[in-house]
């Protein structure tokens, strides 16, 4: 019961993360005043720029502030969601698309002998109390080859001891 309450509180806090920022009114300067410099910024051809604020590994969220060409906030979103990871398609999604959708990865790792790069995204699934890792395996041509959603191997449940 406590874990459900803790998850509910965490979800409420996450939902309020950008609540002081008002789409259409807040500016890029307001976003940076509240959140600091973005970890990454991606500018799209239509002039929209996305500012990424990962709270990884322990926050298990990445916030994205979408800024329009007029320097006004369009939306402030949490990007590490079940809906977004479902958009990452093996054999079709590119590294650029994944990074644009999910933001910068935590612990990118290159495996030379496999000719692969692996990006790790610690996250939470609302219906599951166990933290997760979403892993994206990319070939050196920048195409997603494998994806995995697994329990966080570093997670120690309350009360100590490792999971079995």
pLDDT tens profile 84-104: 999 999 999 999 999 999 999
* pLDDT at site 63: 98
Token pair in block for residue 67: 């800024």
Q: What is the pLDDT of residues 53-67, one digit of tens each?
A: 999 988 999 999 999
Residues of the chain with pLDDT under 70: 1-19, 160-164
Residue 146's H or E segment, with its range, is: strand 144-151
Strands (E), 35-151: 40-43, 49-54, 62-67, 73-78, 106-111, 116-125, 128-139, 144-151
* pLDDT at site 135: 97
Residue 96's H or E segment, with its range, is: helix 95-102
* pLDDT at site 154: 87
Residue given tokens 């979800």 in the structure block: 11
Contact of 76 with 21, CB cutoff 8 Å: yes
> Is this prediction's pTM over 0.85?
no
């Amino acid at each position: 019961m406590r874990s459900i309450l803790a998850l509910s509180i965490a979800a409420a806090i996450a939902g309020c993360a950008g609540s002081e920022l008002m789409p259409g009114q807040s500016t890029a300067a307001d976003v940076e005043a509240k959140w600091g410099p973005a970890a990454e910024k991606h500018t799209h051809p239509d002039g929209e720029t996305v500012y990424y604020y990962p709270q990884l590994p322990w926050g298990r969220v990445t916030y994205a502030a979408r800024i329009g060409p007029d320097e006004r906030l369009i939306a402030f979103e949490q990007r590490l969601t079940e809906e977004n990871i479902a958009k990452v398609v093996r054999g079709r999604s590119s590294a650029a698309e994944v990074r644009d959708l999910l933001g910068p990865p935590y612990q990118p790792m290159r495996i030379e002998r496999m000719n692969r790069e692996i990006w790790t995204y610690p996250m939470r699934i609302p219906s599951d109390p166990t933290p997760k890792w979403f892993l994206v395996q990319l070939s050196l041509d920048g195409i997603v080859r494998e994806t995995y959603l697994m329990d966080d191997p570093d997670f120690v449940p309350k009360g100590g001891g490792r999971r079995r």
